[in-house]
A and B are shown apart, each in its own frame.
Chain A
Amino acid sequence: DQQVKQNSPSLSVQEGRISILNCDYTNSMFDYFLWYKKYPAEGPTFLISISSIKDKNEDGRFTVFLNKSAKHLSLHIVPSQPGDSAVYFCAAKGGTYKYIFGTGTRLKVLA
């Protein structure tokens, strides 16, 4: 049972435009959510997180939105840059200390 889902395996966006990556979860016990970026042959790098007590968190070009009623979060990247091309994973946890990761979305930013 996939508790954290990233239904879009890939996404292409023009440089300068907005990239929106989506993530859905099923477990209402999740109370903390993270986004990671991964380049080939490297480990994931933490990008941004959000606690369930918030519905938005912003860090520079990256904003994460959380809709608890819909069990949905999204990562917005504005403006998108070619260096943002990578695989993005969302992750969630709650209750116990276990992190659950989604399957990832490959973002390609076209110059």
Chain B
Amino acid sequence: EAGVAQSPRYKIIEKRQSVAFWCNPISGHATLYWYQQILGQGPKLLIQFQNNGVVDDSQLPKDRFSAERLKGVDSTLKIQPAKLEDSAVYLCASSLRAKLPTSGGEGEQFFGPGTRLTVL
């Protein structure tokens, strides 16, 4: 089974420039997540999609970040304009479903390798 694919793996830009990241989740996974992981910290959820609808984007800086998941499959995350503090690894994850029907738990999240963004 192919894993979660992300591109590019690395990106270096100057502040105020724009950048976009792409994610292809595991086939059949309804839920897709974008996380930001700053060096020395744990991943922070930016946005969660269920199919092509947004479930949670409460931690997404909407003045500069945007994300979409057209047709409920691939997703792109965009930053425009970038700031120095946006330097981080951006992780995409997917899961079969957001919530298991009986245990109350969550479907396991599968993470991609991430995109390391450096803003100079």
Interface residues of A (CB under 8 A from B): 4, 6, 31-32, 34, 36, 41-46, 49, 51, 53, 89, 91, 93, 96-104
Interface residues of B (CB under 8 A from A): 4, 33, 40-45, 48, 55-56, 58-59, 91, 93, 98-99, 103-106, 108-114
Q: Assuming the A-B contacts A91-B42, A101-B42, A103-B42, are A41 and B109 also in contact, with contact meaning beta carbons closer than 8 angstroms in the complex?
A: no
Tell me the number of A-to-B contacts counted with CB atoms below 8 Å: 63
Q: Which residue of B lies closest to A44 (CB)?
A: B111
Q: Is there an interface contact between B91 and A99, defined as CB atoms closer than 8 Å? A: no
Q: Is there an interface contact between A46 and B42, defined as CB atoms closer than 8 Å? A: no
Contacts of B40 in A (CB 8 A): 103
Contacts of B58 in A (CB 8 A): 98
Docked complex Cα distance between A25 and B48 (Å): 22
Docked complex Cα distance between A70 and B106 (Å): 23
Q: Which residue of A lies closest to B108 (CB)?
A: A46
Docked complex Cα distance between A102 and B111 (Å): 16
Docked complex Cα distance between A98 and B98 (Å): 10
Q: Is there an interface contact between A96 and B56, defined as CB atoms closer than 8 Å? A: yes
Q: Is there an interface contact between B93 and A43, defined as CB atoms closer than 8 Å? A: yes
Q: Is there an interface contact between A46 and B113, defined as CB atoms closer than 8 Å? A: no
Known: A34-B109, A91-B42, A103-B40. 7 other contacts (CB 8 A): A44-B91, A49-B108, A51-B103, A97-B99, A98-B58, A99-B109, A102-B42
Q: Is there an interface contact between A89 and B56, defined as CB atoms closer than 8 Å? A: no
Docked complex Cα distance between A93 and B55 (Å): 14
Contacts of A51 in B (CB 8 A): 103-105
Q: Is there an interface contact between A43 and B108, defined as CB atoms closer than 8 Å? A: no
Q: List 6 A-B contacts (CB under 8 A).
A: A42-B114, A46-B108, A51-B103, A98-B45, A98-B58, A103-B40
B48 vs chain A, min Cβ distance (A): 6
Docked complex Cα distance between A44 and B111 (Å): 6
Docked complex Cα distance between A104 and B108 (Å): 19
Q: Assuming the A-B contacts A51-B105, A103-B41, are A43 and B112 also in contact, with contact meaning beta carbons closer than 8 angstroms in the complex?
A: yes
Q: Assuming the A-B contacts A32-B105, A49-B105, are A89 and B43 also in contact, with contact meaning beta carbons closer than 8 angstroms in the complex?
A: yes
Contacts of A36 in B (CB 8 A): 111
